[in-house]
Amino acid sequence: MNELDWMREKVGRQATDSEVRYLVSLMERVEGDAGSKLVSRGTWGDSLYLLVDGRLRAFVSGAGRRLELGTIQPGNWIGEMHFVDPGPSSASVEAETPFVALRLRNELLDTMLRDNPTATSQLLRSIVRQVADRLVRTGAGAVERVGEGDFRVGDPDEPGGWLEGLFRWMFGGWR
């Protein structure tokens, strides 16, 4: 699949060819080698990335411990929350393999809203769906266990135990 195909898959079939081309035209190509970092936890994030080739890994680390949150495959958004509301990154993302991603900066948002509101609306609807889904899964993941009188969160069969499961619920959504 090429960059246009990945974008079409993300924004949905209702988007026209020209809308998909418009969105891709605004994005800058970012490439990196295995081991390079795309996002560092705690640094200011203001960009949306669409991974189009390669494989990335999201993690949080601290106190001598590194918690893997999941593998990111082509066709996934990264940083969608920062694009609509910039802020510090909650997790780090680094390359497992050489990768290619498309980057869209928040500073273009006003221009997009003015120049092509239909395409911008398609993109924002995709982001709304993804964030809404994460919001529901995060809350559900926490509460289900309470209902059973058990405070473990996430998949109980998952390696790493309930704490890692909790963080995957909170930051995950890529797998």
Partner 1 sequence: MFLGIESFSDFPKAERELLEDVFVRERFPRGHVFVREGDLARSSRDAICVVLEGEVAVTRAGGAVRAVLVRGDLFGIVSMCTEHPRSATCTAATDVTVAHLDKPAITYLRSEHTALAARFELLLARQLVRDLRALTRVLCDAVESGDSGALMTAFRAV
Nearer CB in complex with partner 1: 34/136 = 136
In the complex, least distance from residue 130 CB atom to partner 1, rounded to whole angstroms: 9
Tokens 């960009």 correspond to what residue? 47
Q: Is the dihedral of CA 84, 68, 159, 167 positive or negative?
A: negative
CB of 8 to partner 1, least distance (A): 18
Q: Residue 154: is it exposed, middle or buried by C-beta count within 10 angstroms (0-12/13-18/19+)?
A: buried
The smaller minimum CB distance to partner 1, of residues 20 and 153, is found at 153
Say if strands 44-45 and 77-78 run parallel, antiparallel, or are unpaired: unpaired
Beta strands in the chain (DSSP E): 28-32, 37-39, 44-45, 47-53, 56-62, 65-72, 77-78, 87-88, 92-95, 99-105
In the complex, which residues of this chain contact partner 1 (CB under 8 A)? 81, 84-85, 87, 90, 109, 113-114, 117-118, 120-121, 124-125, 127-129, 131-136, 138-140, 142-143, 145-147, 151, 153, 163, 166, 170-171
Q: Kindly tell me which of 54 and 79 has the beta carbon lying closer to partner 1.
A: 79
Question: How far, in Å, CA of 153 to CA of 144, rounded?
Answer: 8
Q: How far is the CB of 52 from partner 1 (least distance, A)?
A: 22
Which one, 53 or 162, has the nearer CB to partner 1?
A: 162
Closest to partner 1 by CB, 1 vs 136, is: 136
In angstroms, what is the minimal distance from the CB of 22 to partner 1? 13
